[in-house]
Chains A and B, each alone.
Chain A
Amino acid sequence: MAIEHDAAETIFDENDVVTTDDVPLLEVEGLTTSFKTEAGRLVAVDDIDFTVDSGETVCIVGESGSGKTVATESVTQLIKQPPGTIGGTVRFKGQDLMDLTEKQLRSIRGNEIAHIFQNPQEAMNHCYTVGWQITEAIQIHEDVSKKVARARGVDLLDRVGIDNASARFDDYPHEFSGGQKQRIMIAMALVGNPDLLLADEPTTALDVTVQAQILRLLNDLQEEFGMGILFVTHDLGVVAEIADRVIVMYSGKIMESADVFEIFERPAHPYTQALMKCLPERGGDQRGGIPGRLPNPTNPPDGCRFAARCEHATEDCEVGEQPPQIEIAPDHHVSCIYYGEGYDSSVVRDAELEAANAPETEANR
């Protein structure tokens, strides 16, 4: 472990652009984030692993409170410590971000890893013009004259689809609509030419029409810059629209991860299946949502976190740890005991759902 670590650091030190083919852009291992609360220690994210490659969009889905936001914010340690505590390794281009000082982190946050948030209103400073804020951001990252920074800012706004960028450059945030503000946030995130974009529900507060525009924009930008995107959402429609790979989270744990087609067409975990059944478009009939609620985060149950709401749960599900991640197909991991040795996985497989969503029937529709 430690040796691997050093090796990675050397690569980073020699040249921070070099990434060998086998080193993913972002590699998270054993990430655990907990908070001290009055009710005790709350483990919001519990020992999760995932990777994001360049040019790839990875979506984290899950109900509210499942730890999606905490997971993304732990990557660049945006979580306030204390009350938070972040453990595990987060390697970005081979470099463990956990080892960095706050100052180094700050330079990485703006430059190589950018964040966009759910609520553009809150993330912007209302006292300054949009142009001023962008110019400021550019000048923090690079030593350029005001004029050059301004030209670049206009260009960026134009790139993210603000009409008449030069005319609107000196407007204040409140003079833009919600969707435009989100575009501006994206422009600001692009200032440092990031290699990784962490987007936490960037379209949840927006109208569908605007959401469609933003998703398209992210896709275009990814094609243009080849960055990796870690996208948090609870909307499976959005997932289907942009994801290459999907991570399904529940109560701080990863339940299933696979590429987007596998997830939608052959959901293997009972939780993923339940999510799919909430979608009438995919032949689902569970209109009232999944019955029950998330377990208490300060005192999660033994065994599988989903057991209380799982229709296949047996006694074995309620002892020990969360079942291990089992690879059931290339790059398709599931955390459910039925995929382990000595169990019959066909019990949890939902043939009906898979048949309804097989790609060929889909095409027939």
Chain B
Amino acid sequence: MTEPILSVRNLKKHYPLKKGLFNRQVGAVKAVDGISFDIAPGETLGLVGESGCGKSTAATSIIRLEDPTEGEVVFNGGGRAGATRREDGTHPNDVTKFNKRELKRFRRDAQMIFQDPSSSFNPRMPVGDSVGELLQVHGMKNRAQRRAIVGDLLERVGLSADDYDRYPHEFSGGQKQRIGLARALVLNPDFIVADEPVSALDVSVKAEVLSLINDVQEEFGLSILFISHDMSVIRSVCDRVAVMYLGEIVEIGDTDEIFADPQHPYTEALLSSIPTPNPRIRGEGIELTGTVPSPSNPPSGCRFHTRCHKVIQPDQLDLEQEVWRRLLDFTQYVEKGEFDIDDIRETVTLDDEHDPTEEELKEQIRDEYDLPMTLTDASAEQVLNEALDNLVTDNEAAATEQLTSEFTTPCAETKPDYTTHGDGHRSSCLLHDEYAEAEVALSDD
């Protein structure tokens, strides 16, 4: 087995949430909360997820633009190969423990491409100097040599050596991104983090820059961590993909495999949200309800359970999956105190003039929260009905109690482990666990 060039273990980055006069820490935004993966030499790993799921934080922590809270980033590139762990268990190549000198050395071997071409260059410096500065910082004092190297590199990324003296505002976004690539390459690194390198670009320009990145990678055998929220971009450049949700990796595996056969419900939903360029299949995507919860207070158990369309029902219930999802949503609203009977009352009153009866109110609630008038499961129906009775008689506490004690899901209680689906394809969902258990049970027989 070849040694990975980068190996991230249980990486965490928490930003303290401070409040008050003395900046007391009142909590933490868990932007990245324990991610692990490897990148092989020459490989491109994609990191995909919705905005705010911690992709960029992961990038900056790995490259140590920020100090991670916890975890290990072992970088074996740049002539560091073959190192073994010290006796105390630390790794000599652990980036998070690098001292100043090692860190500067590391900068030569790992570079980054940024998202926003308009702000990633010093507007008061000719772009050539911006690129050449890296050479200077690392000790190349000869100005003519720097110029020659940068000029040559600019040509390699599809610009001209004369562009050295031009200023950033004189370039288009796509050109700036090419220069950004040149800057990342100039120290001849082994590993590049590309944080949404094309998301600010136009479709046509996007394709050009992507193919340039691909070419450069092949030519120099680079390993790339490629961050994007755009699945189609990921698909076209990455060998493997890691799907992130709320600071965690929920699924990781070969790109083709993940696109063809996503295992985690979130990956599945993400993929099915991509509009297919086929007018004959419309509106068949899985719709995720709600928005990503706040990373300062992530949901218990499986973090995706507040939105998951496959969220597991307790054994005693037998509802249609869709109804079960809505029932849970409704429960969440009531639990969080976001349900307001007065609003319902007002709506019904507006519709017709007399004071609404309790039955009318209950009907309106079911209507507004998309719950069927009777649930197929009798026991569930009974609980819901009682809870609604309590709600319309302003007894919210009792309703909350009934709903939350009856409509529970194992997904909110147990944190799923990773299940392996063969050859580096892992995902974390209780459904797989169950499946795996069932299999184990079978083979035991």
Contact = CB atoms under 8 A, between A and B. Distances in A.
Interface of A: 63-65, 151, 154, 163-164, 166-167, 177-180, 207-213, 215-216, 219, 234-243, 260-261, 264, 276, 278-282, 287-290, 293, 359, 362-363
A240 B235 CA distance: 20
B152 interface: no
Nearest to A215: B275
10 contacts: A163-B338, A208-B229, A208-B270, A209-B270, A211-B275, A234-B203, A237-B274, A240-B275, A281-B276, A281-B278
Nearest to A165: B343
A243 B231 CA distance: 22
A282 B277 CA distance: 7
B275 A178 contact: no
B276 A237 contact: yes
B313 interface: no
A294 B309 CA distance: 44
Contacts of B443: none
A290 B291 CA distance: 36
Interface in B171-214: 202-208, 211
Interface stretch (B133-141, B249-257, B280-288, B411-419): B280-288
B290 interface: yes
Contact of B274 (A208, A242, A261): A208
A188 B283 CA distance: 25
Given A216-B287, A293-B204, A209 B273 contact: yes
A287 B236 contact: yes
Give the most central of A154, A180, A281, A363: most B CB within 10 Å: A281
Q: Which 6 A-B pairs have the closest CB atoms?
A: A289-B207, A237-B275, A64-B202, A212-B273, A241-B275, A208-B273
Contacts of A209: 50, 269-270, 273, 288
Contacts of A64: 202-205
Given A234-B202, A240-B282, A279 B338 contact: no
Instruction: State which size class the interface on B falls in.
Output: 35 or more
A211 B203 contact: no
Contacts of A287: 207, 211, 236
Main secondary structure of the interface of A (DSSP, over half): helix
A241 B278 CA distance: 7
B333 interface: yes
Given A215-B275, A261-B279, A281-B276, A177 B291 contact: yes
B350 A151 contact: yes
Given A276-B277, A288-B211, 10 more contacts: A63-B203, A164-B338, A167-B340, A177-B52, A240-B276, A242-B282, A264-B277, A281-B277, A289-B204, A290-B204
Contact of B273 (A65, A154, A211, A288): A211
Contacts, number: 119
Given A163-B333, A215-B275, A289-B203, A362 B280 contact: yes
Nearest to A237: B275
A151 B67 CA distance: 49
Given A241-B275, A264-B278, A207 B51 contact: yes
Nearest to A357: B278
A209 B292 CA distance: 10
Give the most central of B236, B277, B282, B338: most A CB within 10 Å: B277
A210 B53 CA distance: 14
Interface in B7-51: 50-51
Contacts of B273: 208-209, 211-212
Contacts of B211: 287-289
Nearest to A203: B275
Give the most central of B285, B287, B333: most A CB within 10 Å: B285
Contacts of A179: 291
A151 B279 CA distance: 38
Contacts of A239: 277, 279
B355 interface: no
A121 to B, nearest CB: 13
Contacts of B320: none
B346 interface: yes
A167 B275 contact: no
Contacts of A235: 203, 275
A287 to B, nearest CB: 6
A363 B204 contact: no
Give the most central of A280, A288, A359: most B CB within 10 Å: A288
Contacts of A178: 51
A278 B279 contact: no
Contacts of B290: 163
